[in-house]
A and B are shown apart, each in its own frame.
Chain A
Amino acid sequence: MDWQNIFSLALQQGLGPSAVVYCLAAIGLNVHFGYTGLLNFGQAGFMAIGGYAMASVVSTWGLPFWLGVVVGLLLAVVLALLLGVPTLRLRADYLAIVTIAAAEIIRQTVGSVSLLEYFGGQDGLTGFSDSFRSLNPFSGSIGIPGVVSWRANDAWVMLVGWILVVICCLIVWLLMRSPWGRVLKSIREDEDAVRSLGKNVYSYKMQSLIIGGVFGALAGFITALKSAAINPSFFATDITFFAYTVLLVGGAARVLGPVAGAIIFWFLLSFLDLFFTQAAATGLIPESIMTSNQASLMRFIFMGLALMLLMIFRPQGIFGDRKELALDAR
């Protein structure tokens, strides 16, 4: 067992591009679910819209990279409007159903054979990140020697990604301390009460859906950029649920909840993966019990267990306030 190697690689993942992706997606969900009480189960759809818009604008239509980013953000707004207009007047569960369906529709559409020439079908698109990578100031291996290191491209994605995270957190913090954020939190508690006080609940919910969706699109950009490729399997439904896990681990309705959640989630997931793989490889877990292939899947079992324990012993997440959560039980 090479513990140093396990920790080093787990840390690499915990701060790496994947953590950034889930962090951004979870910040969006935090605005939706944590603050406004909107059950968006289609965050992967917002990510797919963002990622595919950027990728196809560049590699299919040959337009500049920045235009791809702008189109991605605009389409995320359009998707939020499309989802919100019919459902935000209805009960919260309708939005959940519509968003999960919409995310699947988007994934199936971009992966379809008839749109192969635009979106590359199941193989997806590549070759859109050259202009992004050309801006990369790093070269060689970046990190703390002997502790953790990243390849130059990953380090560049991480730098941009974590800056985006900081900006998003700042926006969320600014918004949520304001009267605007107070209305959002009030809507989460009881939207009829808010309506009776003269606030246009529908408009606030729409604004929330759009802002969280745009954060989702940012996560989509990073998804595409971190592997310099994009394909429909990057945006499967479980991505949304991982993002929810990240949010709940960190604590919903807390500005830094998604950040802590993403780092811990990815650190633990890779740690368990590496531990079980090595344990099986070095014979710590005998072949008769499980093979190394099976061992690597143990991470999801233990992650699930950890989640259960979290929900039992610390349901408010890392940053949450237990007292606040206890109010629900009344």
Chain B
Amino acid sequence: MPAETTAPMETPGRGTSASALRAREVLADVAHEPGAKKPDPIVVADHITRSFGGLTAVDVEHVEVQRGVITALIGPNGAGKTTFFNLLTGFDRPDSGDWSFNGTSLNKVPAYKVARMGMVRTFQLTKVLSKLTVIENMRVGATGQKGETLLGAMFKPMWQRQETDNTKRADSLLERFLLIKKREDFAGELSGGQRKLLEMARALMADPELVMLDEPMAGVNPALKQSLLGHVKSLRDDGRTVLFVEHDMDMVRDISDWVIVMAQGKIIAEGPPESVMGDQRVIDAYLGAHHDEALTFEAEEKIHAEASSEFQGGPAASAAPRASTGTTERTGSTAATGEHAAATEPASTRTDDHEDGPR
């Protein structure tokens, strides 16, 4: 990761591969505002709303996802990111709205058909098929299998050749995702990180145009994280579009070409990572509008203490200590990127906290 050794603000660290440069070029003229028009959108969504009882989980006016780039969907907990994901992929139905993939409306299209069209997702809580071996997990991912019809299944010669081809493809993907040694193991025996890898590799078996990753980094150890990042970037090199939900700001800055920020169901900002993370609306959304975490008295005291030191010392002075206390998961990440994490982590502070007053 050469980019991480330089100052994060100036160099976004999105890599310098041809596809990364191309992605940056394509998005150069796009306005940095919610619902911005993209030159070649693969997904377009309009007026999507979804409420659960009285709570409006998603209320998206307009959003477009550019083809061939890596787009991150970020936002504080409860912003509606995963719900929006479920709506786009047909796992949930919106109360209203319309959305399309490659110009085809996906309204009322069931999830499996969405996947067949080339829009394949992974899940926040990894869904591997525990009692199937790794290679069998991969084989399930292939689409259009003749042996998957009841009649075809009975006659092995009908699907034998296709199965061999699929197995070859699965093996090369397993090799790429460093899972080839686990080929014959039950997927349930894999570690959390390996499951994430398997899920991603399995999604690629369907040869999707758009890969939708729901928190690909959740629960993955820092060493594996780097390799996962590489894999996500390689998807873009393959010419695929990636849309992912993530809480890990290092990852967002490191690999995304475009960031869409959601808060309370709405899209509040869009832009390249470096511009979005400095956006006042985003900082407000993460740090001000988010009070649903239970705070212990000690933690609250600490936040207040840090806040006052921040006011006295300015943001630069407070950034370093915040980075170490931000989240426990972050302890393995580089110090250079901690600064950004501090600016966007919910556990940080903001003036509103002071108005609430100390208890």
A198–B145 contact, CB under 8 A?
no
Q: How far apart sit A183 and B150, CA to CA, in the bound complex (Å)?
A: 11
Contact of A327 among B136, B148, B154, B189 (CB under 8 A): B189
21 contacts between A and B (CB under 8 A): A174-B153, A175-B153, A177-B156, A178-B152, A179-B146, A180-B147, A182-B136, A183-B140, A185-B131, A189-B128, A189-B130, A189-B131, A193-B199, A194-B129, A194-B140, A196-B89, A197-B143, A198-B115, A198-B120, A200-B112, A324-B186
Contacts A182-B139, A183-B148 given: A189-B129 contact, CB under 8 Å?
Answer: yes
Q: How far apart sit A207 and B148, CA to CA, in the bound complex (Å)?
A: 12
User: In the complex, how many angstroms separate the beta carbon of B161 from the nearest chain A beta carbon?
Assistant: 12
Contacts A179-B147, A195-B112, A195-B115 given: A327-B131 contact, CB under 8 Å?
Answer: yes
Complex interface: chain B residues within 8 A of A327 (CB): 130-131, 186, 188-189
- Residue A87 lies at the interface, judged by CB distance under 8 Å to chain B: no
Interface of A is mostly: helix
User: In the complex, how many angstroms separate the beta carbon of B102 from the nearest chain A beta carbon?
Assistant: 15
- Residue A323 lies at the interface, judged by CB distance under 8 Å to chain B: yes
Q: How far apart sit A200 and B112, CA to CA, in the bound complex (Å)?
A: 6
Q: Which of A177-223 contact B (CB under 8 A)?
A: 177-183, 185-186, 188-190, 192-201, 207
Complex interface: chain A residues within 8 A of B110 (CB): 200
Contact of B143 among A177, A198, A201, A323 (CB under 8 A): A198
Interface string of A60-89 (1 = CB under 8 A from B): 000000000000000000000000000000
Q: How far apart sit A185 and B146, CA to CA, in the bound complex (Å)?
A: 17
- Residue B63 lies at the interface, judged by CB distance under 8 Å to chain A: no
Q: How far apart sit A22 and B357, CA to CA, in the bound complex (Å)?
A: 71
Most buried by B among A179, A181, A195, A200: A179
Give the nearest-CB partner of A183 in chain B. B148
Give the nearest-CB partner of B143 in chain A. A198
Given contacts A174-B153, A180-B153, A186-B132, 7 further A-B contacts (CB under 8 A): A178-B154, A183-B148, A189-B130, A190-B127, A195-B115, A196-B111, A197-B112
Contacts A197-B140, A207-B150 given: A178-B156 contact, CB under 8 Å?
Answer: yes
User: In the complex, how many angstroms separate the beta carbon of B128 from the nearest chain A beta carbon?
Assistant: 7
Interface of B is mostly: helix
Interface string of A307-330 (1 = CB under 8 A from B): 000000000000000011001101
B127–A182 contact, CB under 8 A?
no
Give the number of A-B contacts (CB < 8 Å): 110
Complex interface: chain A residues within 8 A of B140 (CB): 182-183, 186, 194, 197, 199
Q: Which of B113-163 contact A (CB under 8 A)?
A: 113, 115-116, 120-123, 127-132, 136-137, 139-141, 143, 145-150, 152-154, 156, 159, 163
Give the nearest-CB partner of B89 in chain A. A196
Q: How far apart sit A201 and B111, CA to CA, in the bound complex (Å)?
A: 10
B188–A197 contact, CB under 8 A?
no
B159–A197 contact, CB under 8 A?
no
Complex interface: chain B residues within 8 A of A196 (CB): 89, 91, 111, 115, 120-123, 127, 203
B148–A324 contact, CB under 8 A?
no
Complex interface: chain A residues within 8 A of B122 (CB): 196
Contacts A197-B141, A197-B202 given: A178-B112 contact, CB under 8 Å?
Answer: no
Give the nearest-CB partner of A192 in chain B. B127
Complex interface: chain A residues within 8 A of B203 (CB): 196-197
Contacts A178-B153, A192-B91 given: A198-B188 contact, CB under 8 Å?
Answer: no
User: In the complex, how many angstroms separate the beta carbon of A274 from the nearest chain B beta carbon?
Assistant: 39
Complex interface: chain B residues within 8 A of A179 (CB): 139, 145-148, 153, 159, 163
- Residue B217 lies at the interface, judged by CB distance under 8 Å to chain A: no
Give the nearest-CB partner of A177 in chain B. B156
Contacts A179-B163, A196-B89, A197-B141 given: A185-B129 contact, CB under 8 Å?
Answer: yes
B132–A185 contact, CB under 8 A?
yes
Contacts A178-B159, A327-B131 given: A192-B123 contact, CB under 8 Å?
Answer: yes
Complex interface: chain A residues within 8 A of B156 (CB): 177-178
- Residue B261 lies at the interface, judged by CB distance under 8 Å to chain A: no
Q: How far apart sit A188 and B143, CA to CA, in the bound complex (Å)?
A: 19
Complex interface: chain B residues within 8 A of A175 (CB): 150, 153-154
Q: Which of A82-120 contact B (CB under 8 A)?
A: none
Complex interface: chain B residues within 8 A of A177 (CB): 156
Complex interface: chain B residues within 8 A of A171 (CB): 154
Interface string of A147-178 (1 = CB under 8 A from B): 00000000000000000000000010011011
- Residue B206 lies at the interface, judged by CB distance under 8 Å to chain A: yes
B139–A198 contact, CB under 8 A?
no
Complex interface: chain B residues within 8 A of A197 (CB): 112, 115, 120, 140-141, 143, 202-203, 205-206
Complex interface: chain B residues within 8 A of A185 (CB): 129, 131-132
Most buried by B among A198, A199, A323: A198
Contact of A180 among B136, B137, B148 (CB under 8 A): B148
User: In the complex, how many angstroms separate the beta carbon of B81 from the nearest chain A beta carbon?
Assistant: 17
User: In the complex, how many angstroms separate the beta carbon of A280 from the nearest chain B beta carbon?
Assistant: 46
Give the nearest-CB partner of B118 in chain A. A198
B131–A178 contact, CB under 8 A?
no
Give the nearest-CB partner of A203 in chain B. B112
Q: How far apart sit A195 and B149, CA to CA, in the bound complex (Å)?
A: 16
Q: How far apart sit A128 and B132, CA to CA, in the bound complex (Å)?
A: 46
Q: How far apart sit A200 and B200, CA to CA, in the bound complex (Å)?
A: 20
Give the nearest-CB partner of A190 in chain B. B127
Most buried by B among A178, A186, A201: A178
B91–A195 contact, CB under 8 A?
yes
A180–B152 contact, CB under 8 A?
yes
Q: How far apart sit A167 and B141, CA to CA, in the bound complex (Å)?
A: 31
